[in-house]
Amino acid sequence: METTKKTVSVMCFHDELCQVFNAMMTALSLLREGAKVTVYFGSRGVNALHRDKVGQLSCLPDMPEVGAAVMKRMDELDVPLVEDLFFMFTHEGGELLACPLNVPLFGMSEHDLIDGARLAEPARYYKEIVMRADMNLTF
């Protein structure tokens, strides 16, 4: 089995479930193909890492009928919960980072983050991860 030695930075700036789900499915898939993957949550995305909010994320909150239909279809397809994706990702070696500027902006502290997530060190993140990454993906 051939694996890649690529490094990937995934940035998620949304707390809308479909965006978070897509970011984490992409990150987990790349991780499982052998890439070193870091997922950075900034702006409203930090809410997805809040231990009390992660289970309340919804799809398309500005379009309730469509969002409800998407959520129903996700249930029917038995796709993993985003909480499970976070767990699998970190336990398989992925790194979850939260923007240290946005966490307090949204009334959070590092203690509110889900297990496996930590505050990013911005200088290190941009210099050592983003600038060196083979791929930078944004959701």
Q: What is the C-alpha to C-alpha distance for residues 42 and 84, in angstroms, rounded to an integer?
A: 20
For residue range 93-123, list pLDDT tens digits in order.
Answer: 999 999 999 999 999 999 999 999 999 998 9
pLDDT at 89 over 60: yes
Measuring CA to CA, how many Å separate 139 from each of 17, 24, 60, 76, 136? Answer: 11, 10, 14, 24, 10
pTM, rounded to two decimals: 0.92
> Measured between alpha carbons, how far is 42 from 100 in angstroms, rounded to an integer?
8
Q: Which domains does the chain have, with CATH numbers?
A: 7-138 (3.40.1260.10)
- Residue 37, strand partner residues: 8
Cβ–Cβ under 8 Å, residues 52 and 15: no
